[in-house]
Amino acid sequence: MKKLLALFAVIAITMSAASAQDVCLRGGMNLAKQIGSGGAWLNKVKFGVNLGATVDFELIDDLYLRPGLFFTMKGGRTNVGHDVYCNQNYFEIPVDVAYKIEFNRNLALDIQAGPYFAVGFCGKLKDKTEHKNNSNYDYPKTFKSTAEDWQVHRFDLGLNFGVGMDVDQFYFGLGYDLGLLKLYDDNHRKRKNSCLMFNFGYYL
């Protein structure tokens, strides 16, 4: 059922793109970590990438509804005691409201905000310190680990904020994802996703 819902969302966005006013292909770099209470667990930045597209539907003058679909790499890093990396790879659907302030035909300020919905599909938690001591160490899978201490919830929901510049057919932007759901069942680690994104885009 969950896979069918995810597939439906992908199809709906793909179909809607055909009638959209603007389609923007985007990609960029992520600076991701986990925030919240629970000590220093994965509270250091881990680098990743994001790739996807947005579609714009004009609501009124200069105000747009902007859904999208992205592959995005989140997670975090811990370097206290052990050197641990948590890779959390998601398919993410932001549904933003965007406002454009046009300076001229070729230059506009672009501001967007809204919720996002994400489904984790793969990732591993890598303990580089443990690997040095045991070359046969089996890295647990982020979303499928049988150990409660390692398992991250597959579904995430949060808020997305962004600002950028449209220059001719190009987009240059800065965005931020703030997760609202706990990533673990462990009550001592109330951790959530946090991700700063630098994006480059091209309007088709």
pLDDT tens for each residue of 119-137: 999 888 887 766 656 655 6
CATH number at residue 117: 2.40.160.20
> Is it the case that residue 5 has pLDDT exceeding 60?
no
- Residue 19 has a pLDDT of 54
Name the residue among 113, 37, 42, 46 with its Cα closest to residue 74: 46
Kindly report the pTM of this predicted structure: 0.83
Rounded to whole angstroms, the Cα distance separating 17 from 13 reads 6
Q: What is the mean pLDDT of residues 68-81?
A: 89
Q: Could you tell me the residue range of the domain that residue 58 belongs to?
A: 2-203
Nearest Cα to Cα of residue 124 among 106, 107, 142, 103? 142
Predicted confidence at residue 30, as pLDDT, reads 98
Question: In whole numbers, what is the pLDDT of the chain averaged over residues?
Answer: 85
Share of the chain above pLDDT 90, in %: 58
Q: In whole angstroms, what is the distance from residue 174 CA to residue 109 CA?
A: 12
pLDDT for 131 equals 60
* Contact criterion met (CB below 8 Å) for 185 and 162: no
SS (HEC) of 127-141: EHHHHHHCCCCCCCE
Stronger pLDDT, 186 or 155, i.e. the higher one? 155
What DSSP state is assigned to residue 185?
S
**Total tally of structural domains belonging to the chain:** 1
Residue 130 φ then ψ, to 5°? -65, -35
Residue 45: DSSP 8-state: -
CA distance 112 to 95: 10
Q: Are 70 and 89 in contact (CB under 8 A)?
A: no
Digit-coded pLDDT (tens) for 19-43: 557 899 999 999 999 998 877 778 8
67, 95 in Cβ contact below 8 A? yes
Cα 99 to chain centroid distance, Å, stands at 21
89, 109, 124 from 192: Cα distances, Å:
15, 30, 17
| pLDDT above 90 for 45 | yes
Residue 116 confidence (pLDDT) above 70? yes
